[in-house]
Amino acid sequence: MRFIKSIVYEEMPLDDGEGCVYFDGSTGNTLVLDGIALDVLNCFETERDLEEATDMLLEKYEGERSVIQNDIKELVNRFVENGLLKKAEKETVG
């Protein structure tokens, strides 16, 4: 399954590398992401699946692939629940 970042939220970056505040003016929902969560979210600026996001984050962070991928999966589920990410409209076959 592929995901892409939603444009519903207004982004308000915190100091360099400390994360970002996301605000949805239509619902009043506010989310604060730390630097690592923001790195995960930014993997989905373009349409990607969990494998591609894992590959990107392994270039920046050290750790076991399975652990990092499980962490990404958990964050992606939270992001989808909160509207920061959405499922891609079409599956691409490559």
In angstroms, the Cα distances linking 4 to 49, 53, 84 are 9, 11, 9
Q: How many domains is the chain partitioned into structurally?
A: 1
Kindly report the pTM of this predicted structure.
0.86
Residue 93 belongs to some domain of the structure: no
Round to whole Å and give the CA distance between 56 and 59: 5
CATH of the domain at 68: 3.90.930.60
46-93 residue pLDDT tens? 999 999 999 999 999 999 999 999 999 999 999 999 999 999 987 555
- Please check whether residue 34 lies inside any domain of the structure: yes
Q: Is residue 43 part of a domain?
A: yes
Per-residue model confidence as pLDDT tens digits over 5-18: 988 889 999 987 68
